[in-house]
Amino acid sequence: MGDFGALSSLGIASGVLNYNVIDKLKKADEQMMIDPLKEKLDIVQKREKALDQFITIASTVKTDIMDLADGTLFAKVSTNVIGSSVDVSANDGVKPQSFDINVEQLAKNDIYESKGFASADSVITSNDAKLQIGVGGTSVSISLKAGATLTDLQNAINNADAGVTAQIINTGVGDNPYKLILKANDTGKDNTINFEYFGIDDLGLNATTYTSASFSSDTDSVNNSGSTQTFSITINGDKYSMDVADGESVSDFINDLQNGKLTDSNGNTISVNASYTNGRIEFNLKAIGNISIDDTNLLTDFNDNTDFTNTNRIQTAQDALFKYNGVEMERSSNKIEDIIPGVTINLKTTGDSTVNITSNVDEIVKSMQKFVADYNAMISNLQNLTAYNQDTKMVGLFQGFSEFTSISGKLANDIFGDFLTYDTTKLDFNGNKYTTKAIFNATDLGLSMNKTGLLSFDANKFRQTYQAHPDLVEQLATRAFTKVQNDFNSIATGDHSSLELLSQELKNEQKDYEDRIDSLNKFLDTKYQIMAQQFAAYDDMISNFNTMSSALNMSIQQAINSKS
């Protein structure tokens, strides 16, 4: 009841005006005034909890709907390769298709190896030197200081960004196990390495020995044409030429090669290490790449007497050759991305492969099954919340709430109320074909709804329909589920949805009841505090009356006793 201090002896005098009476009176007031509000508050709190649970279930359904509405699922594809010559990947959205690939030749990098050196720190030049290196028709200049080592050359090449990677390897073979490997960064026949290193020691990259026709001695003439002729060597597009006088001897020709007579149009010269060996003129070049010799009208005839195979060229740049559905194709890379947009074909080895790109219908089926299961869980929960049992008179927490009663019908209409038409061929009574319009709706997707509003999904029917009409399935499903999504946001899960507004109303209602109960409790506390004080005053008066009555009785008794 409360702490009334001095009033703790309330009711002693009267025997009636005590706290037991006050508690009974107050309890009667609470039952009449507060308990009905508490019952209403309890219902509101139960509705809030039930609503939160329903919105949680609905949020799961919303995620399912979003997956089906945005079309992403229908764009997913799978790739299957029969054969080992290729790997294939396809982006989502690529149209299902099949194709054959016959790989005849893989694209390769150009790779050279140098001769052997004693160590990676072997000195390769005693003078400052400028070298040219690159791929295809382009090259860059690199510089080396006098005393530069094989490692210095490796680093200079790698820092030049010339499209070539240099690497020193230790073969472990012989007294000179260290070799410089040059590898073009990209594959393809147009990415051949060109490297001119006349300013440094011979690296042995060009293992070709250029050999002339036979001569009886080094005094024989290399030019019997009657006039001065030209001898030229073209190295990676740069032509170096020298005049050869009528009657010039083999010996003089060799001296000219060795003494820098070969000059380009800019006055640059190259010296070639040449010799007279076994009756022939032989020389080597400190260069690799696209090299040709022109000795027309001379007796040297280098082109017909030289084996142009470079044994230090350990792999020759080449394009990939393959057939795509029987069509001959050529590419510089083994990674093919320009035949089918969104499809990458990686050539792995020679041979035949068949590639099938198919829609990932399994993922769609799983999403449809999940949606149906989650939707049914939501509808079952909804039915419990809005139910009314005529026999037991049990009423669901939200029975009669329009925010709930409209959900099932609206969503069912979104799913089953839309349809498409398409042209189909039928036979008339005479067996003749004719074209007519057919209806395509949610039942074609394998969806159905029973009388209680629960969905069923026939996965086999969906697969059959999808195989026959993939475009129609995607169009109808995305259209229908987009409608479901929009209504779902309006009804259940959007920031301003009907259920969100209802939730706010319930919170406001709860606070209102709580405030009213709190106010009534304070009112009753005050009321019965005053009553207790009034009872105490009455009890005090009764006590005084009792004292006065006792004194009067004593006086009367004394008077009676004195007269007897």
Residue 255 makes CB contacts below 8 A (sequence gap 6+) with none
> Given this model, what pLDDT does residue 428 score?
78
90-95: long-range pairs with CB below 8 Å, 24+: 90/340, 90/342, 90/343, 90/344, 90/357, 91/342, 91/343, 93/342, 94/340, 94/341, 94/342, 94/343, 94/357, 95/357
Beta bridge mates, 102: 323, 352
pLDDT digits (tens, 9 = 90+) for 396-406: 888 888 888 88
Beta bridge mates, 82: 354
* Triad 501, 504, 509: Cα angle to 5°: 125
Given a contact cutoff of 8 angstroms between Cβ atoms, the answer to whether 118 and 316 are in contact is no
Q: Is the pLDDT of residue 16 over 70?
A: no
- Residue count of the chain: 564
> Given this model, what pLDDT does residue 74 score?
86
> Given this model, what pLDDT does residue 333 score?
97
Handedness of CA 362, 367, 372, 377 (dihedral sign): positive
> Given this model, what pLDDT does residue 491 score?
84
> Given this model, what pLDDT does residue 4 score?
44
CA gap 444, 446 in Å, rounded: 5
> Given this model, what pLDDT does residue 282 score?
97
CA gap 293, 240 in Å, rounded: 10
| Bigger pLDDT: 301 vs 554 | 301
Given a contact cutoff of 8 angstroms between Cβ atoms, the answer to whether 10 and 20 are in contact is no
Is 531 strand, coil or helix?
helix
Q: Which of 60, 70, 63, 62 is nearest to 477 (CA)?
A: 70
Q: What is the mean pLDDT of residues 46-53?
A: 91
Q: Is the pLDDT of residue 456 over 90?
A: yes
Q: What is the mean pLDDT of residues 364-392?
A: 91
Residue 82 C-alpha from the chain's centroid: 26
pLDDT digits (tens, 9 = 90+) for 62-113: 989 988 888 888 888 899 999 999 999 999 889 889 999 999 999 999 999 9
Token pair belonging to 330: 């050529």
Residue 535: pLDDT band (50, 70, 90) is low
> Given this model, what pLDDT does residue 75 score?
86
Q: What is the mean pLDDT of residues 330-346?
A: 97
> Given this model, what pLDDT does residue 397 score?
87
> Given this model, what pLDDT does residue 81 score?
97
Residue 549: pLDDT band (50, 70, 90) is low
| Bigger pLDDT: 168 vs 517 | 168
**Burial class of residue 65 (count of CB atoms within 10 Å of its CB; 0-12, 13-18, 19+):** buried
CA gap 233, 268 in Å, rounded: 13
Q: What is the mean pLDDT of residues 269-294?
A: 95
Q: Which of 47, 22, 46, 95 is nearest to 502 (CA)?
A: 47
> Given this model, what pLDDT does residue 203 score?
97
Given a contact cutoff of 8 angstroms between Cβ atoms, the answer to whether 79 and 88 are in contact is yes
Q: Which amino acid is at 526?
A: T
Given a contact cutoff of 8 angstroms between Cβ atoms, the answer to whether 482 and 474 are in contact is no
> Given this model, what pLDDT does residue 539 score?
67
CA gap 344, 360 in Å, rounded: 18
> Given this model, what pLDDT does residue 546 score?
65
Beta bridge mates, 379: none
| Bigger pLDDT: 434 vs 208 | 208
pLDDT digits (tens, 9 = 90+) for 175-217: 999 999 999 999 999 999 999 999 999 999 999 999 999 999 9
Average pLDDT, the chain: 90
| Bigger pLDDT: 161 vs 490 | 161
Q: Is the pLDDT of residue 10 over 50?
A: no
Handedness of CA 438, 440, 446, 448 (dihedral sign): negative
Residue 12 makes CB contacts below 8 A (sequence gap 6+) with 539, 543
Residue 79 C-alpha from the chain's centroid: 17
Token pair belonging to 75: 């764009």
Residue tagged 């006098």 (tokens): 146
CA gap 343, 455 in Å, rounded: 38
Q: What is the mean pLDDT of residues 421-437?
A: 83
Q: Is the pLDDT of residue 425 over 90?
A: no
Q: What is the mean pLDDT of residues 465-472?
A: 90
Q: Which of 532, 534, 531, 525 is nearest to 8 (CA)?
A: 532
Q: What is the mean pLDDT of residues 437-459?
A: 93
